[in-house]
């Protein structure tokens, strides 16, 4: 085992400092309130629904094209 600050011992000794810095940075975070969280969740659901409908349409068009091409090949 290495006794220098750059080795394993140095890494182990830096763990408390790491958690202290994480705690310090977490205190600086501005957390959203309930209203912002709900509005963001609603927007995600709306956008997901819109994209699902869009991709359903695109998939249906490609399906029709492939079926048409396959029927021509018979």
Per-residue model confidence (pLDDT) at position 73:
85
pLDDT digits over 9-18, tens only?
778 888 999 9
What SS3 string covers the chain?
CCCCCCCHHHHHHCHHHHHHHHHHHHHHCCCCCHHHHHHHHHHHHHHHHHHHHHHHHHHHHHHHHHHHHHHHCC
Q: How far apart are CA 51 and CA 24, in angstroms?
A: 39
**pLDDT value at residue 5:** 58
Q: What is the pLDDT of residues 10-58, one digit of tens each?
A: 788 889 999 999 999 999 999 999 999 999 999 999 999 999 999 999 9
- The full set of domain ranges for the chain reads 1-30, 32-74
């Amino acid at each position: 085992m290495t006794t220098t600050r750059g080795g394993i011992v140095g890494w182990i000794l830096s763990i408390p400092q790491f958690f202290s810095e994480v705690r310090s940075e977490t205190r600086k975070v501005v957390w959203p309130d309930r209203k912002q969280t709900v509005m963001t969740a609603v927007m995600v659901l709306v956008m997901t629904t819109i994209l699902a409908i869009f991709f359903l349409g695109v998939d249906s068009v490609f399906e029709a094209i492939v079926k048409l091409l396959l029927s021509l090949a018979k």
